[in-house]
Amino acid sequence: MPDIDPDFLALPLRELADAALGRAAELGAEHADFRLERIRDRTLAVSDGAVETAAEGDALGFAVRVVHRGVWGFASADALTPDAAARTAERAVAVAEVAAPLATDRVELAPEPVHADRTWVSSYEEDPFEVSMRAQAALLSGWCRRLMEDGRVDHVDASLLQAKEQKFYADTAGTSTTQQRVRIAPEVEVVANRNGLLDSMRTLSPPAGRGWEYLPTVEAELAGLPALLDEKLRAPSVEPGRYDLVVDPSQLWLTIHESIGHATELDRALGYEAAYAGTSFATPDRLGELRYGAPSMHVTGDRTAEHGLATIGFDDEGVATSSFDLVRDGVLTGYQRDRRISAAQGLRSSNGCAFADSPGHMPIQRMANVSLAADPTGPDTEGLISGVEDGVYVVGDRSWSIDMQRYNFQFTGQRFYRIRGGRLDGMLRDVAYQASTTEFWNSMAAVGGPASYVLGGTFRCGKGQPGQVAAVSHGCPSAVFTDVRVLNTAQEAGK
Tell which positions 433-492 bind other proteins, by CB under 8 A.
434, 436, 465-467, 485, 487, 489-490, 492
**CB 459 to Zn ion: min, Å:** 11
At CB < 8 A and 24+ separation, what contacts does 143-147 make? 143/188, 143/219, 143/222, 144/46, 144/47, 144/48, 144/49, 144/188, 145/49, 146/222, 147/188, 147/190, 147/222, 147/225, 147/226
Confirm or reject binding of residue 225 to Zn ion (CB under 5 A). no
The secondary structure element, H or E, covering residue 60 is strand 50-68
**CB 306 to other proteins: min, Å:** 31
**CB 257 to Zn ion: min, Å:** 6
Nearest residue (CB) to Zn ion, 319 versus 461: 461
Nearest residue (CB) to other proteins, 37 versus 302: 37
Nearest residue (CB) to Zn ion, 98 versus 275: 275
461 is in the binding site of which of Zn ion, other proteins, none (Cβ under 5 to 8 A by kind)? Zn ion
Contact 347, 356 (CB under 8 A): no
Report the relative pairing of strands 176-194 and 118-121 from DSSP bridges. Answer: parallel
Residues of span 306-365 touching other proteins by CB under 8 A: 360-362, 364
Could you give the 3-state DSSP secondary structure of residue 19?
helix
391: nearest Cα among 413, 358, 424: 424
The span from the CA of 8 to the CA of 367, in Å, is 27
DSSP string, 123-146: --SS-GGGS-HHHHHHHHHHHHHH
**The one among 56, 125, 390, 425 contacting other proteins by CB under 8 A:** 56
Residue 408 has, within 13 A of its CA and on its CB side, a CA count of 2
Question: What's phi and psi for 123, nearest 5 deg?
Answer: -90, 105
468 is in the binding site of which of other proteins, Zn ion, none (Cβ under 5 to 8 A by kind)? none
The span from the CA of 264 to the CA of 370, in Å, is 9
Quote the distance between the C-alpha of residue 73 and its chain's center: 27
Contact segment (CB under 5 A) with Zn ion among 96-104, 307-315, 459-467, 475-483 equals: 459-467
45 is in the binding site of which of Zn ion, other proteins, none (Cβ under 5 to 8 A by kind)? other proteins
Confirm or reject binding of residue 228 to other proteins (CB under 8 A). no
The span from the CA of 400 to the CA of 409, in Å, is 7
**CB 173 to other proteins: min, Å:** 20
Question: What's phi and psi for 9, nearest 5 deg?
Answer: -65, -25
Could you give the 3-state DSSP secondary structure of residue 293?
coil
Nearest residue (CB) to other proteins, 390 versus 465: 465
**The one among 182, 260, 461, 480 contacting Zn ion by CB under 5 A:** 461
Site string for Zn ion, 404-443 (x = CB under 5 A): ----------------------------------------
Nearest residue (CB) to Zn ion, 65 versus 303: 303
Question: What's phi and psi for 204, nearest 5 deg?
Answer: -105, -10
Residues of span 88-127 touching other proteins by CB under 8 A: 91-92, 94-96, 98-99, 101-105
Report which residue type is found at 52: E
Nearest residue (CB) to other proteins, 217 versus 281: 281
CA distances in angstroms from 404 to 6, 23, 257, 408, listed in the order given: 44, 41, 14, 9
155 is in the binding site of which of other proteins, Zn ion, none (Cβ under 5 to 8 A by kind)? other proteins
Nearest residue to Zn ion, using CB?
Answer: 461
**CB 161 to Zn ion: min, Å:** 17
Nearest residue (CB) to Zn ion, 89 versus 461: 461
Residues of span 249-288 touching other proteins by CB under 8 A: 271-276, 278, 281
The span from the CA of 201 to the CA of 192, in Å, is 9
Is the bond leading into 101 cis (omega within 30 degrees of zero)? no
Helix 82-99 with 13-26: angle, nearest 10 deg? 40
Confirm or reject binding of residue 51 to other proteins (CB under 8 A). yes
Nearest residue (CB) to other proteins, 197 versus 445: 197
**CB 336 to other proteins: min, Å:** 17
236 is in the binding site of which of other proteins, Zn ion, none (Cβ under 5 to 8 A by kind)? none
Site string for other proteins, 143-182 (x = CB under 8 A): -----------xx---------------------------
Residue 122: CB atoms within 10 Å: 23
401 is in the binding site of which of Zn ion, other proteins, none (Cβ under 5 to 8 A by kind)? other proteins
- Give the binding site for Zn ion (CB under 5 A): 461
